[in-house]
Amino acid sequence: MNKDVPAAEADQRAGGLPVALFDALPAAVVLFEPGTARVLFANRAARTVADGVLAKARSPEEYGVSYRCFDLAGRAVPLERMSGVRAAHGETVEGEQVVWETPSGRHTFEASGMPVLAPDGRAVVVMTYLEVTDRDAAEQRERHAGEELGAILEGVADAITAQGPDGRLVYANPAAVQMLGYATIADLLAAPLPELMARWEMYTPEGEPFPAQRLPGRRALAGEEPEAELVRFRHVGDGEMRWARVKARPVRDGDGSVRLAINLIEDITELKVAEESSRFLAEASRVLAGSLDYERTLATIARLAVPDVADWCAVDLVGPDNAISRVAIAHVDPSKVRLAGELERRYPADPNAPTGAANVLRTGQSELYAEISDDLLVAAAGDPEHLALIRALGMVSAMIVPMCVRDRVLGAITFVSAEAGRHFTEADLALAEDLALRAATAVENARLYESRSNIAKVLQASLLPPHLPDIPGIDAGALYRPADEGFDVGGDFYDLFSTSEEHWFAVIGDVCGKGPEAAAVTALARYTIRAAASRRHSPAEILRWTNDAMLRQDAPRFCTVAVVHIDRSGDDADGVRLRLALGGHPVPMVLRASGAVEPVGIPGTLLGLVQRAGADDTSAVLAAGDTLLLYTDGVTEAGAPKVWTPEDLAAAIGRASHGSAQEVVDHVAAEALAGREAPPRDDMAMLALRAAA
């Protein structure tokens, strides 16, 4: 129909049906002739859709040209499947969607129709076409949005689930399926909630059991807006501990009731492992730096590694003779430590073994056993009893890393996973190798310190008399205590020697600084004083001689010295006659038998700084029971920042009035160091001479 026709003619074509009524309808109505499918009538709505012109197809063969119809997928509808043709052949069509292409564009309709009897008795096929283009577009947009949302959720790396009011899962993305250990989404959604929860062990970050009612999803279903929770969890089957940050939000209906809980489960295992690894290495570094007793330190490291890194840890070192010694072993179960010890005793490792700690020590290459199979145990066992012992350890995974310093292998650290069921990874191996490197550096430093400390002790001993000689009528006592841990040669020294049976000399000195230069100056001063004393009895002259020698030798350090000449050549009825001189040294103290304490001597100039050292002899007498105490400033400064005044020193000496020379020295040292937790910062030396009562 290309244009409107008179109503009478239209009614006649429609078999007497009220076409005027059809024209008033908002939906498109088309009448077909049964059998031929010839178009008899189209109402105004149908013509409007066709932009006012609706071609009149006289037969189905003309449909393909007159009416371009498509299905929802965009495929052309074959002639025999067109709704009008099917209805003309007696088929009832109801709510079938079809896309009709018109000059104004494509329109989507729901077609319905069936044959009816017209008033004149003829059969007519009445087809209605309800346009649903807008609705279809909305549905398509909704469907597209749903597909996009589904694609987004499927692409999210974190697990996302939705729970219904009864707690069952009604949605899960692929990441959730993988995390929760199911084969398919359908399997996961079909799993009863008790079965799902029974598959997992959950713990708080502190290692306590995590109650299921604390899960954010449970709380969201209860109407809360829960905070995120950190959960440690592991599958009951494989035992590998993982970390997750769990978040949940409720989805509410219009009345406020909760109909869904949306869960986001973020696997943060790698992040937490890295965090714990950094914390572990920081603590290990602190422990390694805290002591120079490397065997004790390595034992502490082994204990630190258990259970955070492994279930048991062993440390082996290579000795000077290339012998391998186990210096530390730790296990979460102390009984297993005994078992491992028995295993090592009865079946010592073959140093030529192609694998294991011996091979790591030989090659310096790490070994990682992500999974220890029973076949591996059988291959490693020497006999059935050996195999039984190895199996009893319950090893699941292991790694052995070398302790290397400058291409030298000092030892190896073995980590074993057993009870926890953890399988070590390359990341675990990297952590273990980092720890081994730090441990190796600590061992090397400790050994170097021990060697240097021994050298310092031997050299220091060479600068002090091996023992105090016996002087007739005089009791002598001495003390030398190095600062810190005796790593360097100190500058404090003392000496007690004779140049004849009647003449003795007591010397105490303090060279500025420490180390080799201080040792060289100490030796120079000590032996120069001895040489000078063999020619001169005046302490002042001896000090000047020593000063000149230091300047001639261009000594790198200056020093303070006190020299005492003990004259036993005359009558000792009044006591022991002394002469002393001070080269910049602290003034000695005399402890009288009465308990009184008094200084003796005149301060002089430092030695090794100026051409003419100022020093004067002072005479004194030690009566019976009197004690002369020579000391270095390390005594008065031992309590730094609090420093003893002369009165403080005199009071400390006075409290030892009835002791021997050695007891006086020991008492003063004890008071000087009282209350100190750390070693003093300076060396301490004392020499005491007590006249026999």
Instruction: Kindly report, residue by residue over 251-273, the tens digit of the pLDDT.
Output: 999 888 999 999 999 999 888 88
Mean pLDDT computed over 657-674:
91
pLDDT for the residue numbered 154 = 73
Mean pLDDT computed over 112-130:
86
Q: 488 vs 208, which has greater pLDDT?
A: 208
pLDDT for the residue numbered 15 = 58
pLDDT for the residue numbered 299 = 86
pLDDT-derived band at 3, boundaries 50, 70, 90: very low
pLDDT for the residue numbered 360 = 93
In a 3-state reduction of DSSP, which class is residue 182? coil
pLDDT-derived band at 249, boundaries 50, 70, 90: very high
pLDDT for the residue numbered 342 = 80
Using CA atoms, how far apart are residues 257 and 277, in angstroms rounded to an integer? 45
Superfamily for domain range 275-453 = GAF domain (3.30.450.40)
For residue 425, give the nearest of 568, 562, 257, 277 by alpha carbon: 277
Residue 402 has pLDDT above 90, yes or no: yes
For residue 242, give the nearest of 281, 210, 201 by alpha carbon: 201
Alpha helices in 14-92 (DSSP H): 19-24, 44-49, 63-66, 83-88
pLDDT for the residue numbered 264 = 93
Q: 326 vs 498, which has greater pLDDT?
A: 498
pLDDT for the residue numbered 218 = 93
Residue 458 has pLDDT above 80, yes or no: no
Class of domain 463-691: alpha beta
**Exposure string for 187-219, b = 16+ CB within 10 A, e = fewer:** ebbebeeeebeeebebeeeeeeebeeeebbbbb
Q: What is the mean pLDDT of the chain?
A: 85
Superfamily for domain range 7-138 = PAS domain (3.30.450.20)
Write out the residue limits of the CATH 3.30.450.40 domain(s) in the chain: 275-453
Least confident span in 41-55, 281-295, 549-563, 619-633: 41-55
pLDDT for the residue numbered 667 = 95
Residue 1 has pLDDT above 50, yes or no: no
Least confident span in 74-83, 284-293, 649-658: 284-293
Residue 620 neighbours by CB under 8 Å, 6+ apart: 578, 579, 580, 590, 600, 628
Q: In the block, which residue shows the tokens 């319950």?
A: 394
DSSP state of 262: E
pLDDT-derived band at 619, boundaries 50, 70, 90: very high
- Cβ–Cβ < 8 Å for 205, 171: no
Cis geometry, peptide bond prior to residue 641 (ω within 30 degrees of 0) = yes
Greatest mean pLDDT range, 145-149, 280-284, 647-651: 647-651
Residue 243 neighbours by CB under 8 Å, 6+ apart: 230, 231, 232, 233, 267, 268, 269, 271, 272, 273
DSSP state of 363: H
Residue 622 has pLDDT above 90, yes or no: yes
Using CA atoms, how far apart are residues 127 and 112, in angstroms rounded to an integer? 6
- Cβ–Cβ < 8 Å for 118, 124: yes
- The per-residue pLDDT for range 641-658, each reduced to its tens digit, is 889 999 999 999 999 877
Using CA atoms, how far apart are residues 178 and 158, in angstroms rounded to an integer? 10
Least confident span in 134-138, 185-189, 277-281, 375-379: 134-138
User: CA-CA distances (angstroms) from residue 674 to 135, 157, 591, 633, 688?
Assistant: 94, 64, 21, 16, 20
Write out the residue limits of the CATH 3.30.450.20 domain(s) in the chain: 7-138, 156-267
Q: 26 vs 103, which has greater pLDDT?
A: 26
- The per-residue pLDDT for range 333-371, each reduced to its tens digit, is 877 778 777 877 888 877 788 888 889 998 999 999 999
Residue 482 has pLDDT above 50, yes or no: yes
Helices 269-289, 294-305: axis angle to 10 degrees equals 160
Using CA atoms, how far apart are residues 344 and 362, in angstroms rounded to an integer? 19
Question: Hey, which residues does 416 pair with through a beta bridge?
Answer: 312, 398
- The per-residue pLDDT for range 295-308, each reduced to its tens digit, is 888 888 888 888 87
Question: Hey, which residues does 644 pair with through a beta bridge?
Answer: none
Least confident span in 83-92, 235-244, 582-591: 235-244
Enter the tokens of residue 40: 């008899």
Kindly report the number of other CB atoms within 10 A of residue 27's CB atom: 15
Pairing of strands 159-163, 258-267: antiparallel
Write out the residue limits of the CATH 3.60.40.10 domain(s) in the chain: 463-691
- Model pTM? 0.55
Mean pLDDT computed over 426-454:
85
Q: Order the strands of the 397-405 sheet from edge to edge.
A: 324-331, 312-318, 408-417, 397-405, 367-369
Residue 140 has pLDDT above 70, yes or no: no
Give the CATH fold of the 156-267 domain.
Beta-Lactamase (3.30.450)
Using CA atoms, how far apart are residues 185 and 163, in angstroms rounded to an integer? 14
pLDDT for the residue numbered 354 = 86
For the chain, the straight-line distance linking the first and the last C-alpha, in angstroms and rounded, comes to: 151
Kindly report the number of other CB atoms within 10 A of residue 260's CB atom: 19
